[in-house]
Structure 1
Amino acid sequence: MLENDNNHALQSQQQVIKRLQTIHQRQRVGHAYIFDGSNGSGKELIASYFTKLLLCMDPKENVPCETCHSCKRIQSGNHPNVVTIRPDGQDIKKDQMAELIMKMTKKGYEEGRKVYIIANAERMNSSASNTLLKFLEEPEGNVTAILLTDSYTSVLPTIQSRCQRIPLQPMNREAIIEALIQQGVTTSLAATVTMMTANANEAYEMTQEDSFVQKRKLVLKLVEAIEQRSPGEALLFIQTDWMPLMKEKSDCEQGIDLLLFAYRDIVAVKAGLQSTIAYPDQLETFTKHSVKNAYSSLTVKIDAILQAKKRLHQNMNRTLLLEQLVLTMQEGLLFV
């Protein structure tokens, strides 16, 4: 395990923290924010810091004291004026949003600002998004929303327009890779896993999971099946190899992400940007694929992968979803 990961995440977001301190100092706290950053970039830590700053009973120079009754309850998750909601299963549902709004609009147990935090905000279903939108359009009382996401473009545009965007700084991927290598992780696996998360502890834990290592191998085999342009072989691979390992929706999403990184690698190699790739052990193979594929073809394939990931959360049959994906990628045409 890697130590002091939380402290490292906070230190890497000093520009964001200074911005939040300025907001507090000038007493210009907005009614809604979107904290946008990659997985592991410290969104929840920053949200907790900002919430403490807003509710702290004794802030010093725009820094929460961390010792007052309010700060301690926020840290423990027991402050009555602070509510956090997370996906119920794969999505955040309308009922969750309705309950949240009820809590935010009724008379609180304590005076002062109320704060609600929505983790994985991009996973609100359409009904939940529309319910939240109505509340954002007509906020009641002294309420601040903090939405957390690693996919800003997946948040409803009308919600984006009613929130202040706070982009988090990307974590130092090279430093995390080096730390993983020092823990005995191979360079190639470290490069792949740091594309999945910027949290060093989480990255290390993933490298120790045999299932993740198997998914990585499976995705590379799928790339070969797709690039061989044999629809029958690729479809058979989905049925006999992919689906037995990707049983859960979360497994399938992880597999699609790994596939996306593989094709981004092929584009990077084609453009001569080899230092950024997620699969350095596949450099020779990806170079061959980059020569055979035009940029336009690679763009279609990447768009198809992104659409598949979006449809995955619309409860589409996963086998059919993957079959359509490989056919789209091989034919170079997007399904309508």
Structure 2
Amino acid sequence: MEKQFKSRLITEQPAIAARFSAAYRNHRIGHAYLFDGEIGIGKHDAALYFAQLVLCENAVENVPCGTCSACKRVASQNHPNILTIEPDGQDIKKDQMSALLSVMTKKGYESGRRIYIIERAHRMNTAAANALLKFLEEPEGAVTAILLTDAYHMVLPTIQSRCQRISFLPPKREQMIETLKSQGISPSIAATVTSLTADANRATELSADEQFLQLRKTVVKLVQAVDHHVTDALLLIQSEWGPFLKEKEDTEMGLDLLMYIYRDIVAKKAGLSAIPAYPDLDEFITSLAMKMTYDQLSAVLEVILQAKKQLHRNMHRTLLMEQLVLSMQEGLFVV
């Protein structure tokens, strides 16, 4: 496992690997980092690699040895100096954060730096984020926080400002798409799933998931309905979105799919050569690119991002989608 941490990071994110080595060599390990990158890009593995480097008993040329007791326990996620938390249900709650910070500040650990990893840090509710913020403002001892997120814009600016941001390069979508196509997956679906995840296995799973494929169709229908008339769009929410509103993750994926259509429209309008998420909708996307202004597109993208934020504040999901449709329609009237 430790070799996988090292090889993937060095191969796919060499600049980040070099940054870790430089921090270790110069004895400048920070107290808080924010790893920002797409789902499946390897942020968690990178966090464990960094932890190995910091705790390694025999680092060679600023790289963890991978064979000492500390490296092996980090790889097996069994090192007492490392704790990880992730959303409990939909959110990271205050009691989770308080318990984590309480444990990390107690004595009795092995020597060396203590590291806590916060998965999907943008899912912290307000109380949890404030509890973490207080700790980041007054760090105690040799403790490092590593926050992982695929939605940097949803992390509180006050937390962003207290962390060193490390942005992960997106994967080479062309290669992923070709791999999926070789498995018999259509080019259009391959393009869509590789917009959603950088994890090849997850992309394959989504491509074969009937509910996901139906969600994609429903999202396309919604964009077509919004373009036609707001009433059509509202009726569609009532008639076809029900199955995708039961779980927050499904609703969020629907919002992501919606956002990628409008990003395709922006790219088409600007004449960019980026790989579209919906290559099969080229004619429709071209027509909207000709019809919509940049201000209108910006307004629509902004209300989708706001809907994602409201989703994680536990707003009623049907109401959320209805309000989104109305806001999108308002955005179309921006001059």
Which TM class, normalised by the smaller chain length?
A: over 0.9
SS at structure 2 position matched to 1:276? coil
Cross-structure match for 2:324: 325
The AA in structure 2 aligned to 1:48 is: L
The AA in structure 2 aligned to 1:192 is: T
C-alpha displacement of 1:162: 1.4
Describe the shift of the 1:8–1:175 C-alpha distance in structure 2 as closer, same or farther (beyond 3 A): farther
Cross-structure match for 1:284: 283
C-alpha displacement of 1:24: 0.3
Corresponding pairs, count:
330
Cross-structure match for 1:234: 233
C-alpha displacement of 1:245: 3.4
**TM-score scaled to structure 2, two decimals?**
0.95
Describe the shift of the 1:5–1:176 C-alpha distance in structure 2 as closer, same or farther (beyond 3 A): farther
Residues in 2 aligned to 1:18 and 1:222: alpha-carbon distance in whole angstroms: 45
User: Any idea what the Cα deviations from partners look like across 1:211-244, whole Å, max 9, x if unmatched?
Assistant: 111111111111110100x222211100110123
C-alpha displacement of 1:20: 0.3
Residues in 2 aligned to 1:152 and 1:167: alpha-carbon distance in whole angstroms: 10
The AA in structure 2 aligned to 1:60 is: V
The AA in structure 1 aligned to 2:231 is: G
CA contact (8 A) 2:34 2:164 kept: yes
C-alpha displacement of 1:246: 3.2
Residues in 1 aligned to 2:274 and 2:288: alpha-carbon distance in whole angstroms: 17
C-alpha displacement of 1:6: 9.2
Cross-structure match for 2:296: 297
Describe the shift of the 1:6–1:290 C-alpha distance in structure 2 as closer, same or farther (beyond 3 A): farther
Residues in 2 aligned to 1:51 and 1:5: alpha-carbon distance in whole angstroms: 11
CA contact (8 A) 2:5 2:46 kept: no
Cross-structure match for 2:96: 96
Residues in 2 aligned to 1:40 and 1:190: alpha-carbon distance in whole angstroms: 16
Cross-structure match for 2:137: 137
SS at structure 2 position matched to 1:147? strand
Residues in 1 aligned to 2:23 and 2:245: alpha-carbon distance in whole angstroms: 45
Cross-structure match for 1:270: 269
Cross-structure match for 1:215: 215
Asked if residue 86 in structure 1 is aligned to residue 89 in structure 2, the reply is no
Residues in 2 aligned to 1:120 and 1:166: alpha-carbon distance in whole angstroms: 15
Cross-structure match for 1:117: 117
Cross-structure match for 1:190: 190
C-alpha displacement of 1:145: 0.9
C-alpha displacement of 1:7: 5.0
C-alpha displacement of 1:105: 0.8
Q: Which runs of 5+ in 1 are unaligned?
A: none
Q: Which runs of 5+ in 2 are unaligned?
A: none
C-alpha displacement of 1:292: 1.7
Cross-structure match for 2:308: 309
Residues in 2 aligned to 1:109 and 1:159: alpha-carbon distance in whole angstroms: 27
The AA in structure 1 aligned to 2:35 is: F
SS at structure 1 position matched to 2:34? strand
The AA in structure 2 aligned to 1:179 is: T
Cross-structure match for 2:168: 168
C-alpha displacement of 1:322: 0.4
User: Any idea what the Cα deviations from partners look like across 1:30-85, whole Å, max 9, x if unmatched?
Assistant: 11111111112111111010000000111111111111111111111111110011
Residues in 1 aligned to 2:111 and 2:271: alpha-carbon distance in whole angstroms: 58
User: Any idea what the Cα deviations from partners look like across 1:229-278, whole Å, max 9, x if unmatched?
Assistant: x2222111001101233321110000010000011111111112254210
Describe the shift of the 1:183–1:5 C-alpha distance in structure 2 as closer, same or farther (beyond 3 A): farther
CA contact (8 A) 2:5 2:49 kept: no
User: Any idea what the Cα deviations from partners look like across 1:141-168, whole Å, max 9, x if unmatched?
Assistant: 1111111111222211111121111111
SS at structure 2 position matched to 1:34? strand
Residues in 1 aligned to 2:15 and 2:81: alpha-carbon distance in whole angstroms: 27
